C-alpha cells in the first residue's frame, strides 16, 4: 500500500536523522499544538512526515495541528516519547495512521531506539527493521506476566490495585509504542488525557483485542481475564 511504503520511507529518514549526531536536536523550541514543548527533533521529524505523507490527505500533527487539505486525514506523532529521546532513555519512536471515512485503515508505529517499525493494515501486522533484517509477522503471545501502565502516577488507587492483584507493569513513556506491543504484553493501560495523535496508530493495532477507552483512560489486553479484572475496578472507581 502506497501510504505504508511512504511511512516506512519517512521513518527511515527520521531514524537516520536521530542517529546523525546533531547536537541541537534536543533543543526546546516552542510549545506545540498538543500543549507539550516541541524539540527541534519533533519539528524536523514533522517536516519529514509532511514531505512524504501530505499527498494522502490533511495531516493532523501533535506539533502543528491540522495541515493542508484533502478528504482523508493522516494522524501523526512525529516523535513519540520525545522526553525519553531528550534524556537518552531508549524508548522513543513515531506514529502515523491513515483515517478514511472516519476510520483508521492502516498505521505504522516506529521504535527508533529499538530499531524497528510495527506496520499494520487489514491484511498483515508485521515488524520491519531499520537494519534490513527480514520482516516478521507479529503474533499473539501467551501471557507473559508483565503489562504497561503509562502515566501510572495519575492514579495511585489503580496502581495499588494492580499491585494487590499481582499484575506487574512498567511505565515507559511512549504510548503509541506501548500500544503497538499489545500482542506481546499482558495489558496496556493509560491514565490521562486521551489525544488522537497519541493513540490513533497504536489503538488501531489493538482493534481485535479486548479494549476500553473514554476521554481519560484506555485499557487493552489480549487476555479476557486480565481485561475484566482491571476494567471492573476502573468502573467501580468511575475513572
User: What residue spans of the chain are helical by DSSP H?
Assistant: 2-18, 40-53, 82-86, 156-164, 175-180, 196-204, 224-237
Which residues are registered as beta bridge partners of 218? 190, 213
* Residue bearing cell 507473559: 144
Which residues are registered as beta bridge partners of 108? 96, 119
- Neighbouring C-alpha atoms within 13 Å toward the C-beta of 117: 29
Q: How far is CA 203 from the centre of its chain?
A: 8
* Residue bearing cell 481485535: 208
Structure-block grid coordinates of residue 65: 495541528
Q: How far apart are CA 237 and CA 82, in angstroms?
A: 31
Asked whether the CA dihedral 152, 155, 160, 161 is positive or negative, the reply is: negative
User: Cα–Cα–Cα angle for 87, 42, 137, nearest 5°?
Assistant: 85
Please enumerate in sequence order all residues whose Cβ is within 8 A of that of 110, keeping only pairs 6 or more positions apart, or say none: 11, 14, 15, 93, 94, 95, 116, 117, 118
SS3 content of the chain, % helix, strand, coil (to 5): 35, 30, 35
pLDDT of residue 58: 96
Least Cα distance to 79 among 113, 130, 103, 53 occurs for 113
For the chain (239 residues), the mean pLDDT of every run of 10, in chain order, is 95 95 86 84 96 96 91 96 95 98 97 98 95 93 96 94 96 97 97 92 97 95 97 89
Structural domains in the chain, sorted by start: 2-137 (3.30.540.10), 147-237 (3.40.190.80)
Asked whether the CA dihedral 146, 152, 155, 159 is positive or negative, the reply is: positive
Structure-block grid coordinates of residue 31: 510549545
Answer left, alpha or beta for residue 68, where phi above 0 means left and psi between -120 and 50 means alpha: left
pLDDT of residue 238: 79
pLDDT of residue 132: 87
pLDDT of residue 30: 84
Amino acid at each position: 500500500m502506497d501510504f505504508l511504503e511512504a511511512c516506512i520511507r519517512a521513518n527511515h529518514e527520521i531514524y537516520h536523522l536521530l542517529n546523525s549526531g546533531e547536537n541541537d536536536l534536543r533543543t526546546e523550541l516552542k510549545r506545540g499544538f498538543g500543549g507539550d514543548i516541541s524539540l527541534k527533533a519533533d519539528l524536523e521529524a514533522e517536516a519529514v512526515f509532511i514531505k512524504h505523507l501530505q499527498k494522502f490527505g490533511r495531516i493532523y500533527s501533535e506539533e502543528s495541528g491540522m495541515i493542508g487539505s484533502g478528504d482523508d486525514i493522516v494522524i501523526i506523532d512525529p516523535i513519540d516519547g520525545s522526553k525519553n529521546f531528550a534524556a537518552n532513555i531508549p524508548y522513543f519512536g513515531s506514529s502515523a495512521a491513515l483515517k478514511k471515512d472516519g476510520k483508521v485503515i492502516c498505521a505504522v508505529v516506529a521504535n527508533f531506539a529499538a530499531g524497528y517499525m510495527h506496520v499494520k493494515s487489514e491484511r498483515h501486522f508485521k515488524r520491519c527493521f531499520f537494519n534490513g533484517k527480514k520482516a516478521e509477522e507479529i503474533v499473539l503471545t501467551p501471557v507473559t506476566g508483565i503489562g504497561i501502565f503509562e502515566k501510572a502516577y495519575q492514579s495511585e488507587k489503580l496502581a495499588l490495585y494492580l499491585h494487590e492483584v499481582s499484575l506487574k507493569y512498567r511505565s515507559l513513556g511512549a504510548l503509541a509504542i506501548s500500544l503497538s506491543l499489545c500482542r506481546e504484553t499482558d495489558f496496556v493501560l493509560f491514565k490521562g488525557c486521551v489525544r488522537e495523535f497519541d493513540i490513533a496508530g497504536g489503538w488501531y493495532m489493538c482493534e481485535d483485542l479486548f479494549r476500553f477507552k473514554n476521554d481519560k483512560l484506555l485499557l487493552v489486553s489480549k487476555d479476557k481475564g486480565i481485561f475484566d479484572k482491571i476494567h471492573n475496578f476502573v468502573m467501580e472507581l468511575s475513572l
